[in-house]
Amino acid sequence: MPVLERGGAQVWQRRTMGERLVRWIGWLIGLVVFAVCWQKISESTTWFFVWDAPRIAGDIWDRATPPKWEYIARLGRPIWDTLNIATLGTMISLCLAVPVAFLAARNTTPSALFVRPVALLIIVATRSINSLIWALLLIAIIGPGVFAGVVAIAIRSIGFCAKLLYEAIEEIDATQVEAISATGASRWQVMAYGIVPQILPAFAGIAVFRWDINIRESTVLGLVGAGGIGLQLSSSLNVLAWPQVSLILLVILAAVVISEWVSAKVRGAII
Amino acid sequence: MSHRELDDMLGTAWRKPPLVRRAWLRWTLLLGFAVYLVAAFATIDVDWGRVYEGLDRGWAFVMSFTRPDFVSRWSDIWSGLLESIVMTVAASVVGIAISIPIGLGAARNIAPLPVYVICRGLVAISRALQEIIVAILLVAIFGFGPLAGFLTLSFATIGFLSKLLAEDIEAMDRSQAEAIRASGAKWLQWINYGVQPQVMPRLVGLSMYRIDINFRESAILGLVGAGGIGATLNTAFDRYEYDTAAAILILIIGIVMALEYLSGVIRARVQ
């Protein structure tokens, strides 16, 4: 226990001198890094705009209130498109994520040396690129529209779903699998009766969880032209129609809250 | 299962029980799902001719991953990447620093009710608004540049980290905190010696995870003018310079992988 002698009395201390020195240097380095980063940001900022920001914010607020309620009649179709992008995208991604997850899990992969790294690479690559970037890419390839949005959401979700699913597969109870294979079941029968029933609750939970996230992401995909309500948001922003923007933001907020509520309810019912 | 039922079932083949036991509910769910699928597919108009034409370009893009062009736009890539990293570091530091007090306030077992309600409200607002929408509003208010991106990421960090930190504090062991309090500690000492050591490993892990997310998000903020690599990427796509785009995507994937590896190492050390 580090103790300091002070005037004959022993005072308890949490750390020794060396520990404190290391910590102090660590904090100093961190602070310097942060200061340098802040310097960089500050350099490329027009501070006049920042000092002016409260006035601009008030100005935008004045323009955006009250929301243009009658515009909601034109939002029905975009909301339906958004829902479709999220739902179909989630379904396609699940179909693709299941095989990837089985190839990536240590206990089910056919070859830990050759197949598993490829599956892990697919997971990392699809996960680390945002759905907006996928959408940007797909629009260049297959043209703007809802379809590009569906495919973008599908690709983006593969990594997320496959990662959670393969972790669930790795955690299964091996005795059940052994019991099924002891009856003389083939590889596929072991899969269907030994492994799948054990990961089904996790699978359903992942599906609903990802659907909730995808609703959020599909609301903004339209900003780059991939369909859904974001398209309306982008066109309203371009013509500075702030009352429409505020209404669309309210609708998006409502959609996000509702989807979160639905997903919480469904997950509560399953698990 | 009674003997009578067992006798009846002897000699007949076992059949897998259905997932949903009530027959009418099962069929209603299936039918509703089928109707939704038909309706969804009917409203997506895919221009298959356009998709077919795009396949060549898609293939060209995939091939460009085999010969990414880091050189010809290197200065743009470097400045964009540096801005992304700077934004990530600064926003993570500020976001984590702000989310610790808010996380303390949002934990029901240590915060009084008014503080709890205010902090939970802040967390809910931050979680309901997506990064990209916040970025659009902040760019409109503060002007183009990394400051808007920095503020967006800090704001998003607060919602994520405070919520998870508060949940961890609510799940902590009360007796340790009480022992510190019984020794006559003041409030700050109580937090510092009774609460903090219990939640520290998880806080470090979550912070690392959030840095990872912040970097990934910083890659898209440039699409709406909030600084970072996104603007460079968008330009590369617009000009059909797939080899440059491939280089940027490879860099993003590489950095995300490195961050994930680093956070794995750090989490393994603190736990």
Question: Which neighbouring-strand residues pair with A10?
Answer: A5
Three-state SS at B1: coil
d(CA A35, CA B222): 23
d(CA B52, CA B97): 51
pLDDT of residue B3: 61
Phi, psi angles (nearest 5°) of residue B85? -65, -45
Q: Do A34 and B93 touch (CB under 8 A)?
A: yes
Structure tokens at B102: 């808010």
Could you say which residues from 206 to 225 on chain A have a Cβ atom under 8 Å away from some Cβ of chain B?
A: 216-217, 219-220, 223-224
Mean pLDDT of chain A: 87
Residue pLDDT, tens place only, A31-58:
999 999 998 888 888 788 888 888 888 8
Q: Give the gap in angstroms from C-alpha A239 to the nearest C-alpha of chain B.
A: 13
Residue pLDDT, tens place only, B229-257:
888 888 888 888 888 888 998 898 888 88
Q: Do A217 and B143 touch (CB under 8 A)?
A: no
Determine the residue of chain B that is closest to A148 in CA distance. Answer: B46
pLDDT of residue B58: 83
Structure tokens at A64: 């955006």
**What is the rounded average pLDDT of the residues A202-208?**
89
**What is the rounded average pLDDT of the residues B6-31?**
78
d(CA A148, CA A225): 9
d(CA A25, CA A32): 11
pTM of the model: 0.83
Residue pLDDT, tens place only, B191-206:
988 888 888 888 888 8
ipTM of the complex: 0.81
Does the beta carbon of B14 lie under 8 angstroms from any beta carbon of chain A?
Answer: no
pLDDT class for B177, splitting at 50, 70, 90? Answer: confident
Residue pLDDT, tens place only, B97-134:
999 999 999 988 888 899 999 999 999 888 888 888 89
Does the beta carbon of A144 lie under 8 angstroms from any beta carbon of chain B?
Answer: no
Residue pLDDT, tens place only, A211-265:
988 998 898 888 888 888 888 888 888 888 888 889 998 898 888 889 888 888 8
Largest Cα span, chain B: 81
* Residue in B36, B145, B224 closest to A44 by CB: B145
Return the amino acid letter for A55.
R
Phi, psi angles (nearest 5°) of residue A5? -85, 120
Fold assignment, B78-270: MetI-like fold (1.10.3720)
Could you say which residues from 162 to 191 on chain A have a Cβ atom under 8 Å away from some Cβ of chain B?
A: none
**What is the rounded average pLDDT of the residues B56-77?**
84
Q: Do A56 and B240 touch (CB under 8 A)?
A: no
Q: Do A130 and B219 touch (CB under 8 A)?
A: yes
**What is the rounded average pLDDT of the residues A140-165?**
90
Structure tokens at B216: 């990934």
Q: Do A88 and B90 touch (CB under 8 A)?
A: no
Mean pLDDT of chain B: 86
Using a CB-CB cut-off of 8 Å, the residues of chain B touching A249 are: 133
**What is the rounded average pLDDT of the residues B80-105?**
92
Give yes or no for a contact between B243 and B67, defined as CB atoms under 8 angstroms apart: yes
d(CA A72, CA A10): 73
